[in-house]
Structure formats: structure tokens, C-alpha cells
Amino acid sequence: MNPASPGFRAYAAASVVSAAAFAAACVVGGVWLLLVVPAAALLLWFLPRAKAASETRERAQTAALVAMAAAGGLGVLLGLSPLLLVASVSAAVAVWDLAALNRRSRGASDPEAARRVERAHVRRLVVTAGGGAVLGAAAVLVRVRLGFAVLLALGVALAIGLSLFLRALRGAGDGTP
């Protein structure tokens, strides 16, 4: 990713937001040991950029996402601010997505077209990540009691929706609609 590109600026901003929100949750909650997680995630997001092979970079970036999400779950269990943790994990997902965009567009034959796609992707990602963070914050702030049958139906609907989403992603990767 070119450091002057909108994708890299978004990648850097989302990385900092994710780490800073998580660090703020740790400091406010007084859980100092977990400050290792955002520091490690920043290293995994930026350190492998220069020298590592593409597969190593992908694994490092995925490991950072998993670490941030797992630490976010642990933070909730430890009583850290769920709003800051939602912001942190939402930004971590955006970093991971931008890294995947970079991998897919690295060998583009038309650099100008790749920049247009990158700009459009960043705009959609900002809306999606922002909307996800707002919905996550709403879920934290609003308490709703649901019965088991409703939760079961929502779980089945989520599983079906995720299956359709993944099928669509696989189809988009091979050029089919």
C-alpha cells in the first residue's frame, strides 16, 4: 500500500483508533496487563509490511484481529468499557479488511483504476464500520430481554445470512455474480 494512498491513511487511522480505544478502556478500567494486546496488534499490523512474504503478512494481520477481538471479549468479562471495546474491535475489523484490499489490488495492471476502487472501498468501509460501531454501541446501551425461541430464530437467521454472505464473497472472488 502506498503511504500516500487513501487506503493506507485509512489503514493507519483505523490501527491507531483500534489500539487507542482498547488502551483507553484498559487505563480507565485499571487493567494494565492487557495494554500488551494493542501494542502487539500495532506491531503485527505494521512490522510485517516491509520484509515479510504476503502469506506471513496475512497471518500476522489476521492474528492481530483475532487478538483484538479476543481481548475485547476478555475486557467485557473484566468490566472494561464496552463502548470503547466496540470501537476498538470495529476499527480492528476495518484494518483487517483494508489489509485484504491491499493484497487483492497489489498486482493491478491499471494503477489509476486500482486507486479508484480503493477510494470507493474506503468510503464504503467507513460507512459500514461506523454503522457497525453505532449498532454495537446501541446494543451495549439498550437492554432487551428476549425469550429462547426468539433467540433461536435469530441464531438460525444469522447462520443462514452468514452462509449466503460467504457464498456471495466466494462468487465475487471468481468473477461470477
pLDDT tens digits, 34-64: 999 999 998 888 875 555 567 777 888 888 9
- Output the pLDDT for position 176: 45
Mean pLDDT, rounded, of the chain:
83
| pLDDT band per the 50, 70, 90 thresholds, residue 89 | very high
Check residue 60 and report its DSSP letter.
H
pTM assigned to the model: 0.76
Domain boundaries, the chain: 6-144, 145-177
Angle in degrees, CA 44, 9, 132, rounded to 5: 80
Write out pLDDT tens, residues 109-157.
787 887 888 888 888 888 888 888 888 888 888 877 878 888 888 888 9
pLDDT at 171 over 70: no
Question: In whole angstroms, how large is the CA radius of gyration of the chain?
Answer: 18
Q: How far is 138 from 162, CA to CA, in rounded Å?
A: 22
